[in-house]
Amino acid sequence: MAMLLVAVLSLGVLMAVAPTSDARAAELPSSITDGGYIISDREFFNGGAMTAAQAQSFLEARVPSCKATTGPNCLRGFKADLPAKAKDAYCDAIAAKKGARASEIIVAVGKACGISPKVILVMLQKEQGLVTSTKPTDWSYRASMGMNCPDTAPCSAASAGFINQVYLGARQQQVYAKNPTRYGYRAGQVNTVKWHPDSACGTSKVFIKNQATANLYIYTPYRPNIAALAAGYAQGDGCSSYGNRNFYNYYVQWFAPEVSPHDSGAAARVDACTVPVDADIAAGSGTATLTVASTARRAPVATCATGAQNVAKGATFTVTGTYGSWVRVVSGSNRLWLPKTSVKVTSGTPAAGACAVPAESSVEKATGTVVVTADSLNARKAPSTSCETDRRSLTKGQMFERTAIYGVWWRLRVGGADYWAHSDYLNVQSVAVKAFSRGPLHVRSSAGGSGLVRTLATGDEVTVLQVEGSWSQVQAGSSSGWVESRMLASSKPSLPVTSVMQTSGSVVLRSVMADGGAAVRTLASGTKVTVVDSSGSWRAVTEGSSAGWVPASSLVKPAVVTTKTTTAALNLRAEPSTSGRLITTLPKDTRVSVLEVQGTWSQVTAGSSIGWVSGEYLR
């Protein structure tokens, strides 16, 4: 969700986004320093907050003159064909409209999904600067809401484009609200929130007061630190994040300017020498030695000049805490802050490497089976995008056991080991969930055991009962057992091309792809079967209501089908006998396909019917 958009939306943008004259008081706090309350639920979920005309006037006021001469138009002039959207559990139906303006699209989606068009406008701005851009790019429309565009993976192609982004981004807010227990940030409880995607920057404990604020953290899962808040709309430090800061800044500036005490419009701004509360400062100890000459400051903000002290290389201090990219030290009776990059800390300071694993005391225990929803998702040995050691790639539909939560990261059991993956691309499944085999898959009597219960073909449906490590217990028809979790998908995969074969002799149809596997039934010589999958020297086949595996060597291609025409009205029977059950009577000159010949009788297909006719009346 493009969390780190910042300085490019600075002075020029501020001049272009003066508050509207009719802005009303919104239900927003006067400060977001504690991180727990950013916007009220009533304000956030007000789908009727603007009309299309009001939204259009708003866009035109933001960009009085579009300067785009090539590429896409400015948002005020953007038009696209809005397709009809069916009603679902999260949004009402949307009627199709040719050549709909951006303002009409935004308002239609907001009303249908119960999300304020003001919220949508602010998200378009904080993600891509699209509202105030006078020369937008194709990319700014392709990823306009940042929907399925995280810091931890590429954007999803299925979510690309302005209409998809606005609809899916707004709809996702209702997904969060109606399924709060699926996600790592919840209203009414203390949550662990990271300052920045880099785990070395640390975390904070935030009591999230309402669902709208929880939604913002799920969508953009970082809290702005003091440096980010002090910077207004500009950049803070290496551990600053800006998504939720910018959301608040733009919303207040555009729709509730009376909330802000600052003439600059940056409502979230705090004094540069604001000291973090103790609860936000991580414990630290040891001795800090200056490796380069530096400046010690009263607050962990580079622009804090009050009380600043120049410190020579080699000076030593006692460490009392850390906050993002800063170390708190004691100098006489004063507490000062030094950049981590300027000191070497010995003894006592918590590890801060990219692959540092958080202590068990700092993670939230969790359970459940999760499924990967992204096409590709990185699993890392620590909850940090900078940790590349033993990184693994997970694919869409794979399921794993979840054991802990650390901010937006979930700890999973992957191949018997602990890995961390971003929760935006994982869904918690219920105790029993539907899944499908990715390919031929043995169902075993125990997790990792050698006993085989049956072999699934590609696309066979199972019910997952539980997950233990890299194995899943499943119910497959009347059989139950254990399969490798990596071989399960949440949606049915593409199936192999089927073909029709026939047995070259009598052969046992087996439930397991192995000699000696349990027999399903015996197929007579010449039995036609449909081959639905293959693995090595075995073929998965169906015949009537029976399914199983046979050796490939037991199958041959059936005789070539010939086409003939009836020379008279002809009875089509279920068996090759005049006493066979009559299926229908074929008119003269009906074209039929001959499948098999037994004496004077021919098995034929005519349209959707199959049966036996007298061969004497075919030519």
**CA 230 to CA 300: how far, in whole Å?**
10
Beta-carbon neighbour count of residue 608 at 10 Å? 5
**CA 220 to CA 211: how far, in whole Å?**
14
E-assigned strands of 185-291?
A: 189-194, 203-208, 282-283, 287-290
When pLDDT is averaged across residues 587-610 and rounded to a whole number, the result is 89
What is the Cα Rg of the chain in Å?
Answer: 33
Q: Would you give the distance in Å from CA 301 to the centre of its chain?
A: 34
The rounded percent of the chain whose pLDDT value lies above 70 is 92
DSSP 8-state assignment for residue 585 = E
Give the predicted TM-score (pTM) of the model. 0.57
What is Dmax (Cα atoms) for the chain? 114
Cβ atoms of 571 and 585 closer than 8 Å = yes
**CA 124 to CA 145: how far, in whole Å?**
5
Cβ atoms of 196 and 235 closer than 8 Å = no
Structure confidence at residue 259 as a pLDDT band (50, 70, 90): confident
How far, in Å, are 273, 290, 317 from residue 341 at the CA level?
20, 9, 15
pLDDT of residue 148: 81
| Alpha-carbon torsion, ordered 218, 220, 221, 222, to 10 deg | -150
Residue 445's beta-bridge partner residues? none
Instruction: List, in sequence order, the alpha helices (H) in 79-180.
Output: 102-113, 117-128, 138-142, 162-178
Cβ atoms of 38 and 244 closer than 8 Å = yes
Beta-carbon neighbour count of residue 563 at 10 Å? 10
- Residue by residue, DSSP assigns 148-160 as T--SSSPPPGGG-
Give Cβ neighbours of residue 596 (< 8 Å, ≥ 6 apart).
559, 602, 603
Cβ atoms of 365 and 402 closer than 8 Å = no
E-assigned strands of 566-607?
A: 570-573, 582-586, 591-598, 601-606
pLDDT of residue 396: 86
Instruction: List, in sequence order, the alpha helices (H) in 555-595.
Output: none
Its sign, for the CA torsion 304, 308, 314, 320, is negative
DSSP 8-state assignment for residue 224 = -
| 320-348 pLDDT, tens digit each | 889 999 999 988 888 999 999 999 988 65
DSSP 8-state assignment for residue 27 = S
| 348-383 pLDDT, tens digit each | 544 445 677 877 776 778 888 888 888 889 999 988
Ordered by where they begin, the domains of the chain are: 41-181 (no CATH), 285-346 (2.30.30.40), 365-426 (2.30.30.40), 433-489 (2.30.30.40), 499-556 (2.30.30.40), 562-617 (2.30.30.40)
When pLDDT is averaged across residues 421-438 and rounded to a whole number, the result is 80
CA contacts within 13 A on the Cβ side of 273: 10
The rounded percent of the chain whose pLDDT value lies above 90 is 58
| 27-76 pLDDT, tens digit each | 789 899 999 999 999 999 999 999 999 999 999 999 999 998 888 999 99
| 461-499 pLDDT, tens digit each | 998 887 776 788 888 988 889 998 888 888 888 888 888
| 173-226 pLDDT, tens digit each | 999 999 998 888 999 888 889 999 988 899 998 999 999 999 999 999 999 999
- Smallest Cα–Cα separation from 213: which of 449, 59, 45, 427? 45
The encoded tokens of residue 288 equal 């800090």
Cβ atoms of 204 and 222 closer than 8 Å = no
